[in-house]
Structure 1
Amino acid sequence: MSEFNQQKFINSLSNIQESRVSEISNSFNLDHLHIFSTLPSTNQTLWQLIDSGASPGTVVIATQQTAGRGQWGRTWISDIGGLYISVAFAPGYGCNITSDISISQTSQLTLSTAWGIASSLQDYGVPVKIKWPNDLILENRKLGGILTETRVKKEKIVWAIIGIGINWNNSFPDTGTNLQYYYRNQLQPEISSLEMLAAIVFYGVDSAIRQLLELGIESILPSYTQLLINMGQEVVVENCIGTVVGVTNSGELKVKINPELVASKVPEKSEIYLKPGTISLGYSGRQKADGRRERKV
């Protein structure tokens, strides 16, 4: 596979801006773009650049990662042919507001990013959905994922890195897919190159984070839940059976308990809220899942 073409990425980003109402944040410029053939981790490299004085809006792209990371410490297989990109920002920088984001709002960054990327890909004819909280799903298989990392001072986020992996033309496991496989029967796919995919993803991240900072998570959650494959999914939590009915502002999964299917007495309209990482959900949106109860309302 050929090297990532920086000018092709910039041209694609420019074309996207011309066709969209929302422009890219003024914090991004060519000096903030770093492209590598192979890295251990784009997030790790971006943190190193920040420590060396990099500005918000800095982007790191690699065509391969040797030590990619996913959520909850999992390994992210990052073969050649995929898109591996990390974007840095500092809350309030390059936006119309300067308010802080608390550490409790970290999950909002992930939810917003997942929505932004999925929405941007849908604009180019790829019917991407979301598996709570951060997986990008295409035809009931995993297309990509997101890893959010932050630095905090006095309970406020001062730096955040959004790391994204998208399968373009790389190998994938049985539960995964890539865009070239999706395009296998299409003669002229709308997304024609890895560089164009990178531009679409970057635009999705940038526009979603700015909307979160300017309008709040309340402006994003309705659209996020519309893309959620888990809505209506039956899940098992301890000895309770319930149905996924939404996501809270703090990123927890809302599950409504069926009082007829529990051993203990539960109020008829009770809900439980599950934090990310406490339950495993299937890719099809129809599988049962096991988890532990966080709290009852």
Structure 2
Amino acid sequence: MRLNQEKIETALNVARQQPYLPFSLHLYDRVNSTNQTLWQLLQSGAPSGTVVIATQQTAGRGQWGHQWVSETGGLYISTAIALDLAAINSYQLTFATAWGITRQLQKCNIPVGIKWANDLILNKRKLGGILTETKISGSTINRAVIGVGINWSNPVPETGINLQSWQTLNNITSIPNLENLATQALLGIEFGIECLLEEGIDVLLPRYTHLLTNIGNSVYVENHLGKVMGVTSSGYLHVRMEDSESKSVRTPDFYFQPGTISLGYSNSSN
């Protein structure tokens, strides 16, 4: 499946009167990993703003070392960002990207939400995910590669959903092809990163939290029932535990780093 680079560039030019990120597109039919390919380009002198887009990955990676199945027909895109951000705040890049893409898809009448910390959710199923990788100097991130995978027409597992089939079932044509999806994803990345770097996490975090699908959901932690309350300014998930014998008695609240608790794809998790 070959993407039309001219279509994407033309759509970006129409949509962006004052570009914030200097996108330079590199399109491939198949790569081992868009993040890995982009890092190789950067090592060869490619500037920040370089973008790698593919429709298949043979060795895609997800968060926390998980494999990302990346069959033909999906959108796999990585963007290089130059910045000056404390290393402990790397989660902010993922939050910004998730929020920006979600808002952009919502503008296209796609009711996407966010599952903490980095998944795009449609009809309670996984539409896409984000993998942020960084280069650190001292205690500061000076370069990041933000990888995004979104299901378009590719096969998906039971917990997944692809956008082309969803649009057909719902008689929606706001995103007509993969080139348009790539354009919307890039606009969303730019939208989110600009918000973070220009307005800060205090502005971004409430916007991100507002789009979370997990708020109020039940979650079990060590066989005790809790409820998702929100996300802290450090990116931790806030869970309020309920006493197993009396729900009126609250035990101390718990805070979980990304990757330390699974929320699943339903109204409750184990």
TM-score, normalisation: structure 1: 0.86
Identity value in percent: 51
1:171–1:159 Cα change, 3 Å: same
Matched, 1:83 2:75: yes
In structure 2, runs of 5+ residues without a counterpart are none
Q: Deviations over 1:79-110 (max 9, x none)?
A: 1111000000111xxxxxxxx31110011111
Runs of 4+ in 1 over 4 A off after TM superposition: none
1:187–1:272 Cα change, 3 Å: closer
- 1:53 corresponding residue in structure 2: 45
Aligned partner letter, 1:17: R
Aligned partner letter, 2:268: Q
Q: Deviations over 1:239-272 (max 9, x none)?
A: 53221111011211011122x3279xxx947321
Matched, 1:120 2:104: yes
Q: 2:231 aligns with which of 247, 270, 281?
A: 247
Report deviation, 1:187.
4.8
- 1:11 corresponding residue in structure 2: 10
3-state SS in 1 of match to 2:60: coil
Q: 2:264 aligns with which of 282, 286, 291?
A: 282
8 Å Cα contact 1:108-1:249 kept in structure 2:
no
1:269–1:287 Cα change, 3 Å: closer
1:82–1:211 Cα change, 3 Å: same
8 Å Cα contact 2:21-2:190 kept in structure 1:
no
Matched, 1:208 2:192: yes
8 Å Cα contact 1:136-1:143 kept in structure 2:
yes
3-state SS in 1 of match to 2:168: coil
Q: 1:223 and 1:26 mapped to 2: Cα distance? A: 21
Superposed counterparts of 1:93-172, under 5 Å: 100-172=84-156
8 Å Cα contact 2:76-2:149 kept in structure 1:
yes
Q: 2:176 and 2:10 mapped to 1: Cα distance? A: 13
TM-score, normalisation: structure 2: 0.94
Aligned partner letter, 1:287: S
Q: 1:134 and 1:125 mapped to 2: Cα distance? A: 21
Matched, 1:74 2:69: no
8 Å Cα contact 2:28-2:55 kept in structure 1:
yes
Q: 2:244 aligns with which of 253, 261, 268?
A: 261
Q: Deviations over 1:173-210 (max 9, x none)?
A: 11101011101235551111101110110111111111
Question: RMSD across aligned C-alpha pairs, in angstroms?
Answer: 1.7
1:80–1:222 Cα change, 3 Å: same
Q: 2:149 and 2:35 mapped to 1: Cα distance? A: 11
Q: 1:229 aligns with which of 207, 213, 219?
A: 213
8 Å Cα contact 1:24-1:207 kept in structure 2:
no
- 2:20 corresponding residue in structure 1: 25
8 Å Cα contact 2:226-2:241 kept in structure 1:
yes
Q: 2:54 aligns with which of 45, 62, 76?
A: 62
Aligned partner letter, 2:51: V
Q: How many residues are aligned here? A: 268
Aligned partner letter, 1:8: K
